[in-house]
Amino acid sequence: MNTEVKNVVIVGGGTAGWMAAAAISKKFSPLLKITLIESDEIGTIGVGEATIPPMRTFHKLLDIDEQVFMRATEATFKLGIMFENWGERGDTYIHAFGQTGKETWLGDFHHFWLRAKELGIAKNFGTYCFEHQAAKANKFSTAPNFNLNYAYHLDATRYAKFLRQMSEAKGTTRIEGKVAEVTQDSTSGFIKSLRLESGQVIEGDLFIDCTGFRGLLIEETLKTGYEDWSHWLPCDRAIAVQTESTGPAVPYTRSIAHDVGWRWKIPLQHRVGNGLVYCSRYLSDDDARKTLLESVEGKTLIEPRVIKFQTGRRKKTWNKNCVAIGLSSGFIEPLESTSIHLIMIAVSRLMQLFPFNGIKESFVNEFNQISRVEMEQLRDFIVLHYKTTEREDTPFWSYCKNMEIPSTLAHRLQLFKETGHAYQADGELFRIDSWTQVMFGQRLMPEHYHHLTKTMSERDLQNFLKSLEENINRGVSQLPPHSEFVKHYCAV
């Protein structure tokens, strides 16, 4: 389509729709007409309450004041995720957002740690990560001299409302209603217009599908197709419930493995978000509900609800003049809090490749290729957690431990096991620090390490590690308690 794109129609609200509207209206409002169609009758998933650090970059792009945002969403800070029962029952480790140790241009820190472990002079891997130790101590500060790498726990429903206010202030028009019919061009198949149940017809040049798992435009209309990943990520259900807080909010998400999956615990200022992720082949919805309600603390604030999903991705994220953003583009389960990040990065990519002069095949292909690689890299990181379990105490965990995995992940694991080499691929979200924290946390130990480390004497290596530990402990001791900092910084 060579027609200039001047009229953007976003179908669906929620986090995805309003993130798209907020960003596009903030940067392109003088150039585009932006319309968002949203039905008050259609509920949103609204449980994506944990985020990762790149969200702060997105907020800077939108000139969002952190304290204002956190008050509006009753947010708390997040330094990482505490994983419990993943390697074996009783195990605990933290995937923290910070750097572990200090690296050299030739050898990553974990090689020095492996040698020190062999010599009997190393402490737990997380001892050498500031964010890890701050999380364990329930401490936090945004002061620049501490330079913590952090994200947020937030109320996703309130976040959508916050972004809606921003978007409408920048000229986005919200139309309430349900789409009754989609009209396509008879020759090209491009979407021309939408007719609402009210009879109103809305025309557009570019349509953004934020209709969730349904994929009203990308799938029901354009029949794009879906690539199923459930053989690698077998969980296909989640039950979510909110509870009253029973104590101070901690600066990390908890991910607690159970017999047929895992459950989350996300502390906000005003409540706690809880959920159980499971595989319906091994656990019924009723039993999952019972398991969740028996495990939560505090009075429940809503009725638990079941969310059905299928892990995988659309075969094209951008098809003709429709771009799928959010759950309509695919879904990787929420284990590492990547759902909101995938929305954010898709919106950013669309803005970078925005088809002002018409939709070109080269733009569409570039967008889809980057999206494909990005989703596959995230998929591999999530599958890593399941594959490297040592558990075979239930049929679910036995399946995960012994299942076939993507060749890309198999290569990584073999490389790490044989040589200790870990890497971050071009454009990949999760850094070496993330991969090593999870692999060591689940006791995947390499057979060898880089011999560069042997150029350092045992005494120097011991002093090096001791210095790192002392500096981190000194910094943590100076941090205020997380709950106290939140109270003074952004309490509602």
In angstroms, the CA 265 to CA 252 distance is 9
User: Is 78 known to be catalytic?
Assistant: yes
Q: Which of 73, 138, 128 is nearest to 102 (CA)?
A: 128
Q: What is the 3-state secondary structure (H, E, C) of the chain?
A: CCCCCCEEEEECCHHHHHHHHHHHHHHHCCCCEEEEEECCCCCCCCCCCECCCHHHHHHHHCCCCHHHHHHHHCCEEECEEEEECCCCCCCEEEEECCCECCCCCCCCHHHHHHHHHHHCCCCCHHHHEHHHHHHHCCECCCCCCCCCCCEEECCHHHHHHHHHHHHHHCCCEEEECCEEEEEECCCCCCEEEEEECCCCEEECCEEEECCHHHCHHHHHHCCCCEEECCCCCCCCEEEEEEECCCCCCCCCEEEEEECCEEEEEEECCCCEEEEEEECCCCCCHHHHHHHHHHHCCCCECCCCEEEECCCEEECCCEECCEEECHHHHEECCHHHCCHHHHHHHHHHHHHHCCCCCCCCHHHHHHHHHHHHHHHHHHHHHHHHHHHCCCCCCCHHHHHHHHCCCCHHHHHHHHHHHHHCCCCCCCCCCCCHHHHHHHHHHCCCCCCCCCHHHHHCCHHHHHHHHHHHHHHHHHHHHHCCEHHHHHHHHHCC
Q: Report the C-alpha dihedral over residues 202, 206, 209, 215, rounded to 10 degrees.
A: 90
In angstroms, the CA 270 to CA 139 distance is 19
Cα-based distances in Å from 315 to 94, 189, 353? 34, 17, 19
**Three-class DSSP category at 130:** helix
Q: Which position among 6, 27, 33, 78 bears the catalytic label? A: 78
Cα first-last separation, the chain: 48
* Active-site annotation, residues: 78
